[in-house]
Structure 1
Amino acid sequence: MTRLLVVMGSGETAPTMVKPHRAVFERVTGPAVLLDTPYGFQSNADDISARAVRYFDQSVGRAVDVVSWRQAPADPVARERCLAALRGAGWVFAGPGSPTYTLRAWRETAIPDLLADKLSRDGVVLFASAAALTLGSHTVPVYEIYKAGIEPHWAQGLNLLEAALGFPAVLIPHYDNAEGGNHDTRFCYLGEARLSLLEAELPPDRLIIGVDEHTAVVFDLDAKTATVSGNGLLTLRRAGVSTAFPAGSVLSFADLAAGPAAGLATGAGRATGAGRATGAGRSTGAGPAMGPAAGVPTGAGLPAGSGAGLAESGRPGWVAGAPPVSQPSLRGVADDLDARFATALAARDVDACVAALLEMEQAIVDWSGDTETNDGADYPRSILRGMVVRLGELARRGATDPAETVGPFVDALVELRGRARLNRDYPTSDTVRDRLAAAGVELRDSPDGTSWRLVAD
């Protein structure tokens, strides 16, 4: 029997999450289904489903079927068919879109109870991005607050976390989001100011569980452990105090329930109830006036440089006015490969140019299933086309160093000129020099002999 609740902060269909997906699927028995509700309101919902199915098939190596519940089916047969597919699945996935749309579509249906039953009996529920927001006792209406400007408020969540973990909590994905650049978009686009307002409305003991982008947390309901993997951190926050745990950390449910205080204890790497060492924790403050807790060592177990901004923002990875911390993206991969191509081109290294071209093409394929990517493939394709054009220009000019190509001919003429000078045949010597200069070859005479260089390609 396998009972797992898996949360991904973002990147659920990106190359960065292939390894965590495969690790989870090794423990799955039964069919795998994708529930399309979170993005069901979007006009490109069919395309998002197709891309996700292709991603799991081609990148993860697992067939996934789509259960379409964009709103409760009016046809009772269709409705029961969907519920039967969910009930019989060993793995249920939901991802990007709108958390409040999802909650409305599932309200007064059998889906919440069905998901809770799956976690209580046998199965894997994997929620990412928008869907992950619905798991807690309270849900952030992210679109309404960030896009429509509605005052910060909570929506009622599914409260599956309490059913799974044994204590109520709020889950916030995209916890380290940095898309805002000069304005704070951490905590799923809320920023510290809005999150502080919302946190004050929660019951005093309510835990906030933050999952960074391109990061997975596997809650094993039988082992009662939470394991962090991927690129970012798991953060436990309560009453404005936070503790962050990097990939590789394993926490017991008791540590989770205790919240940030448990993180201070486990920060030294003590063994949890599951018998495994936890990752190093880090205590951070909640806002500009709050830094790390006095006497608590900082930096243990966190990526190098992640401590920047703790005193000002209370969260690793963001400093007011500083450049945003970038997460993996197709655009970022394209920019890196373009820079590598430019370096190879300047060095006339054709093999390295071709390697960059092939990697760019593969990156476009690898990221094609990412349902959350904002830039799509247009930008990297434009970079790829530019690479091809520049490589063609190099081919027209010749990739070999011109000095190597013309060297034997120039050396022969320099030798001929040297003999003419020894024979005091200065007209011939001057003619050779002038003809070489006209061809872009500069001669330099010295006591050690004559050297030459090309002054134009």
Structure 2
Amino acid sequence: MPGLLVLMGSGETSPTMVEVHRAAVRTLRAGARAVLLDTPYAFQENRADISARACRYFARSVGLDVEVTAGITGADWVFSGPGSPTYALDRWTDSGVAGDLRARVRARQGVTVLASAAACTAGLATVPVYEIYKVGAEPHWREGIGLLEPLGLQAVLIPHFDNAEGGTHDTRYCYLGERRLSRMERELPDGTAVLGLDEHTAVIIDLESETVQVAGRGGLTVRRPGSAVVLPSGTRTDLAGIRRLAEGGAGGSASPPVAPAAAPAEVTLEETIRSCEERFKAAAARPDMVAAAQTVLDLEAELVKWAADTEEDAGGVDQARELMRLLIARLGELASTAGLRSQGLRSLVESLLALRAQLRQEGQYDVADALRTAMLAGGVAVEDTPDGPRWTLAS
């Protein structure tokens, strides 16, 4: 079975990485054993929920049945993602999993997919992001598990390279920012490069042919003191070219970006939230009640698609739910001020009832109740009957 090493900057269980996962899974033999290493987030109280969401994602979106485990012996496909890089490092080192991962890469066998926190451990050193960004520790490195060394790369890997959640402060480079990363680079062994992997972006390394492809929303940055080369999504090259860039030379055989064979990359949930806000404002200004209701329906559909995302970047599921609640309340206000007996009332109410039915089917009863309350405030009373919901104009 051909060997693949897939590294992801983020979005590992979101719609943006579905095609990358599917392409990797197509290389597996029939009946392949697939395991999810839950170690990076095993300390979290909601570890079971995170694992369940990830397993649903791989089953429904990728077509792969996955078992959750702490070891990888006998696995054809291995995945690990969000959490704490240092927590994973300590336990993988003690349990022997770190050595097993290195052995897979050296043998050029199996599909190994590491994302976010797990990807952060792949190089010769690891960013202790929790300790630096959230606890306030002095910038420092931890030893990595060394998956890149068998590929001839003396490098560290930093996911979330283009993160912009900070707004007023620099959170690029996995929340380090330029000041801290520059300081930390001086502490690396001579000749060590930084491989920066943007969010919702993957680098796919065929371990047998040594071809390399960048896929997704962003790019792969090969950074050395005083210089940086960005390989955007669609770039196809080889390990020899990456090595030359990491050593300070030209990329050689790297090809210019080409349109990926797979479907275009999905928009992020953050982009969807911004788009829905603007569409709703435009519909409310006209006013177009049906278009406003459709915007809420579209946002709800995106929430379903992103429900399995185990590591939410900016504009995550919680923010989308908050926006949906706000828009639902605003719909009630618009219905009241626009006049309930307008020509578009029936279409509006039917759209809202369809949304409410979908919410109830998914078990989101609190949001469904909020929608019913908002409709009543706008003058539409909804009664649930054995034959389905019935609506009337409130007196």
1:202 corresponds to 2:142: no
- Other-structure match for 1:20: 20
Q: Retained in 2: the 8 A contact 1:59–1:366?
A: no
- Other-structure match for 2:34: 32
Q: Retained in 2: the 8 A contact 1:22–1:60?
A: yes
Which string of whole-angstrom CA distances, capped at 9 and with x for unpartnered residues, describes residues 252-309 of structure 1?
111111126777555xxxx45xxxx3439xxxxxxxxxxxxxxxxxxxx9xxxxxxxx
- Other-structure match for 1:340: 279
- Other-structure match for 1:225: 211
Q: Retained in 1: the 8 A contact 2:193–2:247?
A: no
Q: Retained in 2: the 8 A contact 1:210–1:235?
A: yes
**Which secondary structure state, in structure 1, belongs to the residue aligned with residue 145 of structure 2?**
coil
Matches within 5 A, 1:93-172: 93-119=79-105, 120-163=107-150, 165-172=151-158
Which string of whole-angstrom CA distances, capped at 9 and with x for unpartnered residues, describes residues 47-92 of structure 1?
111111112222223222111x3xxxxxxxxxxxxx4xx2222210
Which amino acid in structure 1 is aligned with residue 171 of structure 2?
T
1:52 corresponds to 2:24: no
Q: What's the offset of the Cα at 1:380?
A: 2.5
Relative to 1, partners in 2 of residues 1:348 and 1:218: Cα closer, same or farther, differing over 3 Å? same
Q: What's the offset of the Cα at 1:387?
A: 3.4
Matches within 5 A, 1:389-404: 389-392=329-332, 393-394=334-335, 396-400=339-343
Relative to 1, partners in 2 of residues 1:31 and 1:239: Cα closer, same or farther, differing over 3 Å? same
Q: Retained in 2: the 8 A contact 1:204–1:239?
A: no
- Other-structure match for 1:314: none
Which amino acid in structure 1 is aligned with residue 28 of structure 2?
V
1:253 corresponds to 2:242: no
Give aligned-pair identity as a percent.
48
Q: What's the offset of the Cα at 1:396?
A: 4.9
Distance 1:401 1:127 in 2: 50
**Which secondary structure state, in structure 2, belongs to the residue aligned with residue 87 of structure 1?**
coil
**Which secondary structure state, in structure 1, belongs to the residue aligned with residue 274 of structure 2?**
helix
Determine which of 252, 273, 279 is the counterpart of 2:257: 279
Q: Which moved more, 1:153-162 or 1:342-351?
A: 342-351
Q: What's the offset of the Cα at 1:4?
A: 0.7
Q: Which moved more, 1:104-113 or 1:254-263?
A: 254-263
Determine which of 87, 103, 111 is the counterpart of 2:73: 87
Q: What's the offset of the Cα at 1:104?
A: 0.7
Relative to 1, partners in 2 of residues 1:398 and 1:58: Cα closer, same or farther, differing over 3 Å? farther
Higher relative contact order (CA 8 A, sep 6+): 2
Distance 1:278 1:41 in 2: 43
Which amino acid in structure 1 is aligned with residue 324 of structure 2?
L
Distance 1:390 1:150 in 2: 44
Relative to 1, partners in 2 of residues 1:344 and 1:40: Cα closer, same or farther, differing over 3 Å? same
Matches within 5 A, 1:422-437: none
Q: Retained in 1: the 8 A contact 2:93–2:99?
A: no
Relative to 1, partners in 2 of residues 1:389 and 1:141: Cα closer, same or farther, differing over 3 Å? closer
1:380 corresponds to 2:320: yes
Moved over 6 A (4+): none
Q: Give the unaligned 5+ runs of structure 1.
A: 70-82, 281-300, 302-326, 403-457
Q: Give the unaligned 5+ runs of structure 2.
A: 260-265, 346-395
Relative to 1, partners in 2 of residues 1:173 and 1:21: Cα closer, same or farther, differing over 3 Å? same
Relative to 1, partners in 2 of residues 1:172 and 1:379: Cα closer, same or farther, differing over 3 Å? closer
Q: Retained in 1: the 8 A contact 2:299–2:324?
A: yes
Aligned length in residues: 332
- CA root-mean-square deviation: 2.5
Which string of whole-angstrom CA distances, capped at 9 and with x for unpartnered residues, describes residues 387-430 of structure 1?
3444454385344499xxxxxxxxxxxxxxxxxxxxxxxxxxxx
Which string of whole-angstrom CA distances, capped at 9 and with x for unpartnered residues, describes residues 197-244 of structure 1?
111111221121110011000011111121000000100012231100
- Other-structure match for 2:302: 363
**Which secondary structure state, in structure 2, belongs to the residue aligned with residue 259 of structure 1?**
helix
Distance 1:401 1:37 in 2: 53
Distance 1:128 1:372 in 2: 10
Relative to 1, partners in 2 of residues 1:330 and 1:219: Cα closer, same or farther, differing over 3 Å? same
Which amino acid in structure 1 is aligned with residue 240 of structure 2?
A
Q: What's the offset of the Cα at 1:350?
A: 4.6
**Which secondary structure state, in structure 2, belongs to the residue aligned with residue 178 of structure 1?**
coil
**Which secondary structure state, in structure 1, belongs to the residue aligned with residue 148 of structure 2?**
helix
- Other-structure match for 1:176: 162
Which string of whole-angstrom CA distances, capped at 9 and with x for unpartnered residues, describes residues 166-189 of structure 1?
232111111111112122111111
Which amino acid in structure 2 is aligned with residue 356 of structure 1?
T
**Which secondary structure state, in structure 2, belongs to the residue aligned with residue 153 of structure 1?**
coil
Q: Retained in 2: the 8 A contact 1:173–1:212?
A: yes
Q: Retained in 1: the 8 A contact 2:241–2:251?
A: no
Distance 1:201 1:187 in 2: 16
Structure exhibiting the larger radius of gyration computed from Cα positions = 1
Distance 1:234 1:384 in 2: 34
Distance 2:325 2:168 in 1: 32
How does the TM-score come out when normalised to structure 1?
0.67
Distance 1:261 1:167 in 2: 9
Determine which of 65, 68, 81 is the counterpart of 2:67: 65
Which amino acid in structure 2 is aligned with residue 187 of structure 1?
Y
